Amino acid sequence: MADKELGRVRADFVTSVSKAVIKLLLDDLVEDGVLNDMESESILEENDSRADKARCLIDIVKKKGDTASSKMIVHLKSRDSSLYEKLGLSCSQPSQAVPAPDPRKPPEWSDTLINTTEQFWKMKMDDQSIYHVTKDAFKNRVALLITNIKFTDGKFNRNGAEKDEENMRNLLSALGYEVVQYTNLTGKAINKALIDFSKHPRLKDTDSVLVVIMSHGKLGAVLGVDCKEPLCANEEQDAFEVNNIYKQLSSDKCPALLNKPKIIIIQACRGEERGAVLVSDCAKPDLVCDDLKQPSPSLPADEEGLEDDTLRCVHKEKDFISLLSCTPDTVSYRDKNQGSILIQYIVQVFNTFAHQDDVEELFRKVMQRFEDFSVPNRRQMPTKDRCTLTRRFYFFPGL
pLDDT the model gives residue 231: 45
Distance (Å, whole) CA 286 – CA 288: 6
> Which ranges of 139-198 would DSSP assign to H, the alpha helix?
161-174, 187-198
Domain ranges of the chain: 2-86, 118-385
Phi–psi pair at 210, nearest 5 degrees? -125, 135
**What CATH class does 118-385 carry?**
alpha beta
Residue by residue, what is the 3-state secondary structure of 299-357? CCHHHHCHHHHHHCCHHHHCCEEEEECCCCCCCCEEECCCEEHHHHHHHHHHHHHCCCC
pLDDT score of 298 more than 80? no
List, for residues 41-99, the tens digit of each pLDDT value.
889 988 999 999 999 999 999 988 888 898 999 999 888 988 888 898 876 544 444 45
Average pLDDT of the chain? 84
Cβ atoms < 10 Å from Cβ of 43: 26
Cβ atoms < 10 Å from Cβ of 355: 20
List, for residues 122-175, the tens digit of each pLDDT value.
989 888 899 999 999 999 999 999 999 999 999 999 999 999 999 999 999 999
- On the CB side of 50, CA atoms within 13 Å amount to 11
Which residue has better confidence, 323 or 298?
323
pLDDT the model gives residue 137: 97
Q: Which one of the listed residues 56, 269, 289, 326 is annotated catalytic?
A: 269
Which SS3 state, helix, strand or coil, does residue 118 take?
helix
Catalytic annotation present for 269: yes
Quick check: do 2-86 and 118-385 share a fold?
no
pLDDT score of 268 more than 80? yes
Beta bridge partners of 320: 262
| Cα–Cα–Cα angle for 213, 219, 224, rounded to 5 degrees | 45
Q: Which one of the listed residues 75, 91, 200, 216 is annotated catalytic?
A: 216
- On the CB side of 330, CA atoms within 13 Å amount to 14
Largest CA distance in the chain: 88
Count the helix, strand and coil residues of the chain and give each as a percent rounded to the nearest 5. 40, 15, 45
| Cα–Cα–Cα angle for 179, 361, 287, rounded to 5 degrees | 65
Cβ atoms < 10 Å from Cβ of 144: 25
pLDDT the model gives residue 292: 53
pLDDT the model gives residue 104: 52
Least confident span in 33-37, 113-117, 393-397:
33-37
CATH assignment, 2-86: 1.10.533.10
Beta bridge partners of 180: 144
Contact 219, 264 (CB under 8 A): no
| Cα–Cα–Cα angle for 150, 145, 129, rounded to 5 degrees | 150
Angstrom CA distances, 134 to 144, 227, 242, stand at 21, 42, 30
List, for residues 205-254, the tens digit of each pLDDT value.
999 999 999 999 888 899 999 988 764 455 678 999 999 999 999 988 99
- Cα 265 off chain centre by: 10
